[in-house]
Structure 1
Amino acid sequence: MLRGKLYDLALLVISCVFGLFPAVSQAALFKVLVVMSYHEDFYWSKDIKEGIDRALRDKCDITYFYMDTKNHFEKGEEKALEAYKLYQKMRPRGVIASDDNAQSMFVVPYLKNKVSTPIIFCGVNEAPEKYGYPASNVTGVLERSHLIESLSFLKQLVPSVKSIGFMMKDNPTSRAFLKYFNSKSDSYPVEKSEFELPGTLQEAISVAKDFKTRYDALFIDNMGGLPDENGTPLTPEVIIPKLLKLYNKPTLCANMKPVKLGVLCAIIKVTQEQGILAGEMLLKAMEGTRLSQLPIIQNHKGKAVINVTTMKALGIRPAPMALQQVELIKTEE
């Protein structure tokens, strides 16, 4: 009888302890700061966040900071300073910095080789050497498009395509993509190509009209934030359908969102992969793996997608083989 009472008392004590301290298990979570180059509602930011959350949510308390440089590049350095002040206040166990602007404006000036906190980058289009990566406390994930694969896929759908024009908004990401474009040009399955970086919507409209007369197909991506005649940054939902209507010929891109907006096809990057890989690397670093044992890597996953609304509108009838293992989607309303 006495043993039973002692057992019941022990259970009561244990219950009281856990009742008084319900968050004890949470104390073991790693504090992580994620600095995003772009804004919270941007599809790319959402997808990378989804990947990071998937990799870290069970072991980390994650705080997100958005620099909004796609819409307001001129305020990027000011936002980077805000991010650094947040870093100082939080004292996180680890940091993820997404896309190029977060590297040049935040990591390099404030954190690289200056703190012991492990920093993992993702979504970086530039060569890592531009930022001095890898560094003593920095490694991460490069972003590379499946460009040659996308061009070959387009040729499967529309064999008559022999020339292509490329158009992306003028910003650091697009300029880095242009370097990648030039480095691969000898491998393109097209006879000629040209790359333009418009800085305004009106310039983009002029490029679309010009390319329509000279090229069989158009590559269009990374157009979000392009300003109108009043200087107001516009969303991809406004820009891309307008340009596609003007061009009205086969198109391709590198990401899912433009396909949903009416671009014909792509071998798209799986954006969440950037966040998952960065999260996995950071978790290893926070658990004790040296960054020297975590070399810089790049994304590899790709997925073939076709916008069937656009395909039908252009009268394209691909061979059945071209539609195998392809995701078919309709234009967003």
Structure 2
Amino acid sequence: MKGSVFQKKPFVLFAILVLGLGCWAPTALAQKKKVLVVFSYEADYLWDIELKDGIDGVLSDSCEIRYFYMNTKKHLEESKQRGEEAYALWQEYQPDGVIAMDDNAQQDFVIPFLRDKVRTPVIFGGVNEEPETYGYPASNVSGILDRFHIGESIAMAQQLVPEIETVGFVMKESPTARYLKIQIDRESSDYPAKVVAVKMPKTKKEALEMTGTLKGQCDLLYVAVMTGLKDENGNPMSEREAVRMVADAFGKATITNLEGNVKNGTLCAVVKTGQEQGSVAAEMLLKAMNGTPFSELPIVRNRHGKRVLNATVMKKLGIRPDPMVLRGAKLVKTEQ
């Protein structure tokens, strides 16, 4: 019995396979969309780490992604320059889609260079300001707003310490803190505790002085967005250093905005997650790059909160909670 052509000439099969792969590879590579992600803050900032995790979970398998960090938590004065650098990268990279995270990226990158000026779809995330401020939605822009779960965090703290009736706020002076104050002013009448004051220090000394004042006025302290607070030598403090310093100085129940800040030494929080913001923005961008018109991509806001409780702080404050309060909460310890 005669053998097949492939048995007699195995090189024929090899050649066919090589040619087939050669034809297939460019097609497969061409299917990968190019995405530029511009973060307002630093690569090691807790929030941006969560955002990137959410984006990667959706896009990493199907897209080629380049990341750009504007570093404005520590160097806000360079925001405009960094926005220009992000645009230069956009011109060089020519992405199929853009994700721009947090407000500084809107002000100094999307609005001056991309909004209604290019056809590239742009999805924002982490935006604290009202969308109308930025002219959103636009012909090529939509996204997800960022809102803090403040009232829910106060209520959680009251479950642990029922005597809580008043709350104060300490946040390093920054655009994020100013947007947060707008949310507080808008919602405070619905909070389960009376808001006494919102303080925005610029330095370590100011933060400690303000915290000392609030300690005598409030049962509960909200401390968050502290990255970049200047120490006695003028150097920017990390979020962990500043949050822990304020929480220790207050010496009573504290709440915050992120799981990382609960681990930094606050009592508890109903936290927003960067993973939600990142994944929703990434899913919206995929739809836009695949042809969904922006009229069918309305602006949305974050909805999901996660209850997080620091067992180290709870023990330190002598809190013995009802087991029902712990149900559904994630227990963490203060990280050193």
> TM-score when scaled to structure 1?
0.96
Distance 1:161 1:180 in 2: 21
2:13 partner amino acid: L
Please list, as runs of the form range in 1=range in 2, the aligned pairs for 1:175-324 lying within 5 A after superposition.
175-324=178-327
Deviating 4+ runs (over 6 angstroms): none
- Contact 1:122–1:278 (CA under 8 A) maintained in structure 2: yes
Runs of 5+ consecutive residues of structure 2 not aligned to the other structure: none
Pairing 1:1-333 to 2, within 5 Å after superposition: 1=2, 4-5=5-6, 11-17=13-19, 23-24=25-26, 25-333=28-336
Q: What SS does the corresponding residue of 2:216 show, helix, strand or coil?
A: helix
- Cα 1:211–1:14 change in 2 (3 A) is farther
Q: Partners of 2:135 and 2:10 in 1: how far apart? A: 62
Q: Within 2, Cα distance between the matches of 1:97 and 1:204?
A: 31
Compute the displacement of 1:20 (Å).
Answer: 5.1
Shift in Å at residue 23 of structure 1? 4.7
The one-letter amino acid of 1:300's match is: R
What SS does structure 1 have at the residue aligned with 2:252?
coil
- Contact 1:113–1:136 (CA<8 Å) still a contact in 2? yes
Instruction: State the Cα distance separating 1:191 from its structure 2 match.
Output: 3.1
Q: Give, in angstroms, the shift of residue 293 of structure 1.
A: 0.6
Q: Aligned partner of 2:275: which letter?
A: Q
Give the conservation status (yes or no) of the 8 Å contact 2:196–2:217: no
Rounded Cα–Cα distance in structure 2 between residues aligned with 1:101 and 1:107:
9
CA distance in 1, matches of 2:234, 2:195: 33
- Post-superposition shift, 1:276? 0.2
Where structure 1 has 5 or more consecutive residues not aligned to the other structure, the ranges are none
Q: How far is 1:120 from its partner?
A: 0.2
Distance in 2 between the 1:253 and 1:314 partners? Answer: 17
8 Å contact kept, 1:162–1:192: no
> How much does 1:71 deviate?
0.6
Letter matched to residue 279 of structure 2: I
CA spacing shift, 1:290–1:170, aligned 2, 3 Å: same
1:5 Cα deviation after fit: 3.3
Question: Secondary structure of 1:75's match?
Answer: helix
For residue 21 of structure 1, report the CA deviation from its aligned partner. Answer: 7.0
CA contact (8 A) 2:223 2:246 kept: no
Q: How far apart, in 2, do the equivalents of 1:124 and 1:210 lie?
A: 31
Task: Give the total of aligned pairs.
Answer: 333
